[in-house]
């Protein structure tokens, strides 16, 4: 069984997220997702509209996702790869090169983003419509 691992905040779920998860799952037989905790997001100076439990419930309902676990810090990825027996580490192409060091543990793949959609753009449009 080939396991794929990815990470994210997955706030305001949109088609770009679904495309990433679908394409990541297609690279293996099992997809595990590290979901940024609210505390970790605060440490990154990043806010989310939905809390961790809400975001986790939404992710768990997506057919491409087999398991969701908390991402608490930047440095846990190598340990997670070993813990879950991941064969492939996937991130969006906007992170290209940032996780190349993990290639000593598994294959590292950066998938292209879905054009014309992003959580940041959605949040900005919500702010401007207030």
Active site (catalytic) residues: 44, 46
CB count within 10 Å of CB 37 equals: 18
If DSSP codes are grouped into helix, strand and coil, which group holds residue 53?
A: helix
Q: Which of 82, 77, 79, 3 is nearest to 34 (CA)?
A: 77
**CA 76 → CA 22, 67, 128, distances in Å?**
24, 17, 36
Residue 36 has φ and ψ, to the nearest 5°, of -55, 130
What is the rounded CA–CA span in Å between residue 103 and residue 106?
5
């Amino acid at each position: 069984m080939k396991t794929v691992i990815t990470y994210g905040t997955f706030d305001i779920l949109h088609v770009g997220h679904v495309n990433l998860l679908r394409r990541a799952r297609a690279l293996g037989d099992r997809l595990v997702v590290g979901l940024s905790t609210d505390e970790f997001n605060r440490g990154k100076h990043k806010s989310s509209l939905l809390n961790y439990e809400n975001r986790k419930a939404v992710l768990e309902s997506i057919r491409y996702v087999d398991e969701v676990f908390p991402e608490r810090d930047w440095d846990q990825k190598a340990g997670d790869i070993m813990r879950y027996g991941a064969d492939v580490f996937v991130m969006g192409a906007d992170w290209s090169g940032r996780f190349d060091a993990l290639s000593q543990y598994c294959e590292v793949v950066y998938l292209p983003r879905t054009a014309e959609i992003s959580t940041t753009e959605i949040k900005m449009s919500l702010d401007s419509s207030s």
